[in-house]
Structure 1
Amino acid sequence: MKKTILIFLVAGVFAFTNAQDAKQLVADAIEATGGKKNFYSKGSVNYDLEYRTPKGENAITLLANETYLFNGERSYATYTEHSLTGANGKVVEGYDGTNAWVTFDGKLSSDEQANGVARFLRKTNYYWFSMFFKLLDEGVNHELLEDQKVTGKDYNRVKITFGDNVGDAQDTYVLYINKKTKLIDQFLFTVVGFGITEPSLMTYKYQTVGGIKIPAKRKYVQADWDGNVKGDGYTITNWTNIKFGAEADKGMFEKPAMAK
């Protein structure tokens, strides 16, 4: 009995130490990226989004101008192309921190699927932009994995999971933290909200705006959990014309009361 208790205690101490070491690596990465305080002090951001999946029958293209208010994680976008809805014109999505909505040519949609897509994109796009500064939020779990060398560079790896009540879906991430620069150079991720539980590998190039390193030129492809590429086509995402401190009144994120 005493031996069993000792084993549990040792295992508990190891797990705690592992998590603390992982969290410290993440904290160092956040500072290397520009610092959480500096990021949130910007208040808001506006930028242009380009998202394209590989060409084919089910290819997706999204072209939008995005605005986020960091207080309340509010999100708003106007689209010039939105192939998920089959619309190429005036599509507007908003999220007020609780509810999502979408209008087509100024008319508020009651379509359940369209509103579901709007909620997914509003929350997901905001998360992608602010992700690195949210990795120590309450409900985020951290696990230190074995180190790995990629293209001659040495990386610490940290597995990120989420508590049951954190977000709409509980994805898994594996961060590759460059031992030399402390930056997250790439990561593996799932998209459970769309039923994708096998990982994709996200790589990118940083752009510095207002002292914040932003992974603005991005691409991802199917991979395995060791980071080996398995897919043959990349999805690309580009963020351009990034401006912090953009004008963003809370009212713009609220669901319109009537068609405009």
Structure 2
Amino acid sequence: MLKRMVLATVLLIAALLLVNQVVIPHVRRSRGHDELRQFCLQKGRETVMKAIATHGGLAAWQNKVDISFHLHDQWNSPAGAALFGWLDMWPERSVDTRQHYLLRQNTGRIEMTAAADRHVWGYRDFKPWALLNDRVDEENIARAYFTVPMINYLVELPYRFLDNGAFPEFVNEVKHDGRLYDRVRITFGLNAGNYPPDEYIADFDHLTGRLAFLEYTVREKLPGYVALRAAFENYQPFDGIWIPTQIKFHLAEPLGNLALHTWQISEVRFNTGVKESFFARIDTALGDSGQL
């Protein structure tokens, strides 16, 4: 009987030591990790809110229904020429386009204005369509599926970082060329973001709050270890909203900062009065002839 009591006492002491040395520190670390993550999420959201205020403000943005602009895209670098076929955004390496989007609705239309042939692409209700000289263009539907919502998403930043299912998390402060930036990592839940498996690293100017750099994956087109980097430059105000009129894209990983292509954005207009039928899918807009 005495031996059993001694054994039980020894086991109890061992259990208490285990709880004190292993379980309690683990719980404390877990709580500490949770508290740190909550802090980073809160600070990340505050950083995005500061950026939105700098870009024109949430109220002003919510009063905008649609956006239209001219976009010139030029893939004229050696790395851009090599990666052009992988990303497969356009039928040509240099394009001039007129673009139209219903804001916050993942709905858009692109018209290529300088091409010899008339290309028109659209995206609505998560379905793409494409026309070539007013006829259904099966060859470019996959390009429309990628290009239209991708451009739509980028031109709506940083506002889209507050979407339901987007999780902006503060990382740290970083310096580029001696200037300080607040770095925020954005991940997405299901049905959020342009492509939920992707993630974004956004650098906001510490003084102004403006979105300056964005590093992101394009897992829809490229392996996850390949990251692109966009530099948002030459901001100009259009109807109270600040828009970057130049965005330079680079290959960030794994080969370093290699120039790819550049967007030039101009003639920006909001609330143009465009109707939803302007973005109608081709399968509902075409008759039996296959023409509009």
Same structural fold, with TM-score higher than 0.5 when normalized by the shorter chain = yes
1:216 to 219, 236, 245: 245
1:191 and 2:213 aligned: no
Q: Classify 1:171/1:81 alpha carbon distance in 2 versus 1 (closer, same or farther; 3 Å).
A: farther
Contact 1:80/1:89, CA 8 A, preserved across alignment = no
- Displacement of 1:196 in angstroms is 4.7
- Displacement of 1:219 in angstroms is 0.7
Q: Distance in 2 between matches of 1:242 and 1:50?
A: 13
Q: Distance in 2 between matches of 1:205 and 1:123?
A: 23
Aligned counterpart, 2:58: 36
Aligned counterpart, 2:228: 200
1:176 and 2:203 aligned: yes
2:161 to 119, 135, 159: 135
Q: Classify 1:186/1:133 alpha carbon distance in 2 versus 1 (closer, same or farther; 3 Å).
A: same
Contact 1:187/1:201, CA 8 A, preserved across alignment = yes
Q: Alignment partner of 2:207: what SS?
A: coil
- Listed as ranges, the matches of 1:1-260 within 5 Å are 1-55=23-77, 60-70=93-103, 72-80=105-113, 88-109=116-137, 111=138, 114-166=140-192, 167-197=194-224, 198-203=226-231, 204-224=233-253, 229-231=256-258, 233-255=259-281, 256-258=285-287, 259-260=291-292
Gaps in structure 2 of 5+ consecutive residues: 1-22, 85-92
- Displacement of 1:252 in angstroms is 1.0
Contact 1:188/1:199, CA 8 A, preserved across alignment = yes
- Structure (1 or 2) with the larger CA radius of gyration: 2
Q: Which has the higher helix share?
A: 2
- Displacement of 1:21 in angstroms is 0.9
Contact 1:68/1:248, CA 8 A, preserved across alignment = no
- Displacement of 1:14 in angstroms is 1.2
Contact 1:169/1:192, CA 8 A, preserved across alignment = no
RMSD, matched Cα: 2.1
Q: Classify 1:105/1:37 alpha carbon distance in 2 versus 1 (closer, same or farther; 3 Å).
A: same
Q: Distance in 2 between matches of 1:244 and 1:42?
A: 6
Q: Classify 1:199/1:168 alpha carbon distance in 2 versus 1 (closer, same or farther; 3 Å).
A: closer
Q: Which has the higher strand share?
A: 1
Q: Distance in 1 between matches of 2:58 and 2:34?
A: 30
TM-score, normalised via structure 1 length = 0.88
**How many residues matched?**
250
- Displacement of 1:23 in angstroms is 1.0
Q: Distance in 2 between matches of 1:17 and 1:71?
A: 28
Q: Distance in 2 between matches of 1:72 and 1:158?
A: 24
